[in-house]
Amino acid sequence: MQRFQIGGVDLAVDIQGRGRPVIFVHGFPLDHTMWEAQVAEFSQEFQVLAPDLRGFGASGATPGVVTMERFADDLAELSHSLGLTAQGVVLCGLSMGGYIAFQFLRKYAGLLQGLVLCNTRATADTDEVRENRYRLANAVRQEGPEAVIRQMLPKLVSEQTRRECPDCVVRLENMMRRASPEGIAAAALGMAERPDSSALLSAVPCPTLVIAGEFDMLSPASEMQAMAKNIPRGRFEVIADAGHMTPMEKPQEFNMILRDFLKSLEPPAR
Ligand code: MLT
């Protein structure tokens, strides 16, 4: 892991390989290790960057509220400090990573060569979801990650994954335990504040791949398909028998779809 001082925090980033930069942005409340199978495969041909977002994994946390815009600013600063801005980047975000990708799109669309939206949605929270986030932030501050593990772990993977890949569930739980309670609370409050990004869809300037899980109960495939239809150069794929964590649950299928998309992009600008 390399370490960077970005926006007042110490960020840990796994950087491997050479070639077109692809940034993998993890979901809530996880860390870069959720992308292990993608880092291993795509670093053979691409420069892969998998950060631990502030408050997660081995990165420092900041208290209060961390907005999706702040996370996007961190990724843009990281790209600047590595000299990636001339050639641009491909951004691949899952769930909260997708919410961050929408904020990146809002502010730094010129840097994007391609966009991959996995198991996410463009809409803002409903009042009910927002209230739940406030409760969760309080509970995590009092009890630590146990509160979020209880709430989220049962919803992350499909029945098939639970049966056939128990290790996947263990890895998810360990990631949640590694996150700082302050970091979890700050990101939960940041998600609650995020604006609706639906109006951005028709103006996405780059090729976009939308990947859903057949049995994702947090970001339903039908909603993601409708989102993809509104993106001019959007492509939609659904992975059978997967839940919310498609890259971990079905790494081979996920990587095949992603590889095909990355190969279809124009060569990077010099
Ligand atoms: C995630 O996987 O990042 C979360 O499900 C996002 C959310 O809570 O909306």
Instruction: Convert the pLDDT of each residue in 236-264 to its tens digit.
Output: 999 999 999 999 999 999 999 999 999 99
Query: What distance in angstroms lies between residue 224's CA and the mean position of ligand 1's atoms?
Result: 14
Q: Residue 139 in contact with residue 29, Cβ under 8 Å?
A: no
Instruction: Tell me the C-alpha distance between 96 and 30, whole Å.
Output: 10
Q: How high is the pLDDT of residue 114?
A: 97
Q: Which of 86, 10, 76, 30 is nearest to 49 (CA)?
A: 76
Instruction: Tell me the C-alpha distance between 142 and 132, whole Å.
Output: 15
Task: Ligand 1 pocket test: pick from 191, 194, 196, 249 the residue with the most ligand atoms within 8 Å of its Cβ.
Answer: 191
Residue 139 corresponds to which amino acid? Answer: A
Instruction: Please state the rounded mean pLDDT for residues 198-202.
Output: 97
Q: What would the pLDDT profile of 68-124 be if each residue is shown by its tens digit?
A: 999 999 999 999 999 998 899 999 999 999 999 999 999 999 999 999 999 999 999
pTM comes to 0.97
Does 71 sit in the ligand 1 pocket, CB within 6 Å?
A: no
Instruction: Please state the rounded mean pLDDT for residues 159-180.
Output: 96
Please determine, for residue 233, whether its predicted confidence score (pLDDT) is greater than 80.
Answer: yes
Q: Residue 121 in contact with residue 200, Cβ under 8 Å?
A: no
Q: Which atom of ligand 1 is nearest to the CA of 244?
A: 2
Task: Ligand 1 pocket test: pick from 95, 99, 149 the residue with the most ligand atoms within 8 Å of its Cβ.
Answer: 95
Q: Which atom of ligand 1 is nearest to the CA of 98?
A: 3
Task: Write phi, then psi, for 207 (nearest 5 degrees).
Answer: -55, 140
Residues facing residue 47 across a β-bridge: 21
Please determine, for residue 49, whether its predicted confidence score (pLDDT) is greater than 60.
Answer: yes
- Angle, alpha carbons 96-102-107 (nearest 5°): 130
Instruction: Tell me the C-alpha distance between 42 and 14, whole Å.
Output: 13
Grade residue 267 by pLDDT with cuts at 50, 70 and 90: confident
Instruction: Please state the rounded mean pLDDT for residues 212-226.
Output: 97
Handedness of CA 140, 185, 249, 239 (dihedral sign): positive
Percent pLDDT > 70 in the chain is: 99
Q: How high is the pLDDT of residue 161?
A: 97
Does 27 sit in the ligand 1 pocket, CB within 6 Å?
A: yes
Instruction: Please state the rounded mean pLDDT for residues 179-188.
Output: 96
Q: How high is the pLDDT of residue 269?
A: 61
Tell me the pairing of strands 208-213 and 112-118. Answer: parallel
Q: How high is the pLDDT of residue 270?
A: 56
Q: Which tokens is 76 given? A: 């843009």
